[in-house]
Protein backbone atom coordinates (compact mmCIF):
# COMPACT_ATOMS: atom_id res chain seq x y z
CA UNK A 1 0.00 0.00 0.00
CA UNK A 2 1.29 3.43 -0.92
CA UNK A 3 1.65 6.05 1.77
CA UNK A 4 2.27 9.20 -0.24
CA UNK A 5 1.96 11.58 2.73
CA UNK A 6 4.25 9.44 4.89
CA UNK A 7 6.83 9.08 2.14
CA UNK A 8 6.75 12.83 1.55
CA UNK A 9 7.15 13.59 5.28
CA UNK A 10 10.04 11.14 5.53
CA UNK A 11 11.74 12.81 2.57
CA UNK A 12 11.29 16.24 4.12
CA UNK A 13 12.75 15.05 7.43
CA UNK A 14 15.79 13.61 5.71
CA UNK A 15 18.42 12.50 8.20
CA UNK A 16 17.00 14.54 11.05
CA UNK A 17 15.82 12.32 13.90
CA UNK A 18 12.16 12.07 14.84
CA UNK A 19 13.02 13.27 18.35
CA UNK A 20 14.80 16.31 16.94
CA UNK A 21 11.76 17.25 14.86
CA UNK A 22 9.52 16.86 17.91
CA UNK A 23 11.86 19.02 20.00
CA UNK A 24 12.07 21.64 17.24
CA UNK A 25 8.28 22.02 17.29
CA UNK A 26 8.29 22.27 21.09
CA UNK A 27 6.78 18.83 21.53
CA UNK A 28 3.47 19.81 19.91
CA UNK A 29 3.70 16.44 18.13
CA UNK A 30 5.50 13.50 19.70
CA UNK A 31 8.25 11.70 17.85
CA UNK A 32 6.18 8.51 17.95
CA UNK A 33 3.18 10.28 16.36
CA UNK A 34 5.41 11.66 13.59
CA UNK A 35 6.75 8.13 13.06
CA UNK A 36 3.19 6.81 12.82
CA UNK A 37 2.38 9.47 10.22
CA UNK A 38 5.40 8.46 8.17
CA UNK A 39 4.38 4.80 8.31
CA UNK A 40 0.70 5.55 7.70
CA UNK A 41 -0.39 3.35 10.59
CA UNK A 42 -0.50 3.60 14.34
CA UNK A 43 1.46 1.30 16.63
CA UNK A 44 -1.75 -0.74 16.91
CA UNK A 45 -1.79 -1.24 13.14
CA UNK A 46 -4.74 1.03 12.37
CA UNK A 47 -4.61 3.55 9.53
CA UNK A 48 -3.70 6.94 10.90
CA UNK A 49 -5.36 10.10 9.61
CA UNK A 50 -3.53 13.24 10.73
CA UNK A 51 -5.56 16.19 11.89
CA UNK A 52 -5.39 19.46 9.96
CA UNK A 53 -3.74 20.96 13.06
CA UNK A 54 -0.98 18.34 12.98
CA UNK A 55 -0.44 19.02 9.28
CA UNK A 56 -0.21 22.75 9.99
CA UNK A 57 2.49 22.13 12.60
CA UNK A 58 4.41 19.91 10.18
CA UNK A 59 4.07 22.42 7.34
CA UNK A 60 5.71 25.02 9.57
CA UNK A 61 8.35 22.60 10.86
CA UNK A 62 9.40 21.55 7.36
CA UNK A 63 8.69 24.87 5.68
CA UNK A 64 6.38 23.21 3.18
CA UNK A 65 3.06 24.33 1.72
CA UNK A 66 0.18 23.48 4.08
CA UNK A 67 -2.21 22.89 1.17
CA UNK A 68 0.18 20.27 -0.23
CA UNK A 69 0.06 18.33 3.04
CA UNK A 70 -3.72 18.74 3.23
CA UNK A 71 -3.97 17.39 -0.32
CA UNK A 72 -1.70 14.42 0.36
CA UNK A 73 -3.78 13.63 3.46
CA UNK A 74 -6.94 13.69 1.35
CA UNK A 75 -8.57 16.74 2.92
CA UNK A 76 -8.54 18.90 -0.20
CA UNK A 77 -8.10 18.56 -3.94
CA UNK A 78 -4.84 19.95 -5.22
CA UNK A 79 -5.32 23.31 -6.83
CA UNK A 80 -4.84 23.81 -10.53
CA UNK A 81 -1.09 23.43 -10.19
CA UNK A 82 0.96 20.98 -12.18
CA UNK A 83 1.53 17.64 -10.53
CA UNK A 84 4.90 17.62 -8.79
CA UNK A 85 6.92 14.62 -7.76
CA UNK A 86 7.89 14.14 -4.12
CA UNK A 87 11.48 15.03 -4.98
CA UNK A 88 10.40 18.27 -6.67
CA UNK A 89 8.26 19.14 -3.66
CA UNK A 90 11.19 18.40 -1.36
CA UNK A 91 13.41 20.78 -3.33
CA UNK A 92 10.67 23.40 -3.36
CA UNK A 93 10.12 23.00 0.38
CA UNK A 94 13.73 23.87 1.12
CA UNK A 95 13.75 27.14 -0.81
CA UNK A 96 13.51 30.36 1.20
CA UNK A 97 10.08 31.87 1.90
CA UNK A 98 10.99 35.08 0.08
CA UNK A 99 10.79 33.36 -3.32
CA UNK A 100 7.80 34.58 -5.31
CA UNK A 101 5.34 32.19 -6.94
CA UNK A 102 6.76 33.15 -10.32
CA UNK A 103 10.31 32.43 -9.18
CA UNK A 104 9.20 29.10 -7.71
CA UNK A 105 7.58 28.18 -11.03
CA UNK A 106 10.84 29.08 -12.81
CA UNK A 107 12.82 26.87 -10.42
CA UNK A 108 10.48 23.92 -10.97
CA UNK A 109 10.56 24.47 -14.73
CA UNK A 110 14.36 24.46 -14.59
CA UNK A 111 14.29 21.13 -12.73
CA UNK A 112 12.09 19.71 -15.50
CA UNK A 113 14.45 21.15 -18.13
CA UNK A 114 17.48 19.48 -16.53
CA UNK A 115 15.63 16.17 -16.22
CA UNK A 116 14.65 16.28 -19.91
CA UNK A 117 18.16 17.30 -20.95
CA UNK A 118 19.66 14.41 -19.00
CA UNK A 119 17.13 11.89 -20.34
CA UNK A 120 18.08 12.83 -23.93
CA UNK A 121 21.71 11.91 -23.16
CA UNK A 122 20.71 8.36 -22.17
pTM metric for this prediction? 0.62
User: 99 near 21, Cβ under 8 Å?
Assistant: no
pLDDT in tens, 98-118: 777 777 777 777 777 777 776
Domain extent for 34: 4-121
pLDDT in tens, 58-79: 999 998 988 889 889 988 876 5
CATH number at residue 37: 1.10.260
Count of CB atoms within 10 A of residue 114's CB?
Answer: 10
Cβ-based burial of 76 (10 A; exposed 0-12, middle 13-18, buried ≥19):
middle
Q: What is the number of domains present in the chain?
A: 1
pLDDT in tens, 2-52: 578 999 999 999 999 999 999 999 999 999 999 999 999 988 889 888 999
Amino acid sequence: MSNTLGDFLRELRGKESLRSVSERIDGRLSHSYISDLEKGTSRRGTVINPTPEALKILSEAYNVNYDKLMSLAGYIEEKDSPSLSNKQMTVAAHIDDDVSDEQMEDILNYIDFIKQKNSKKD
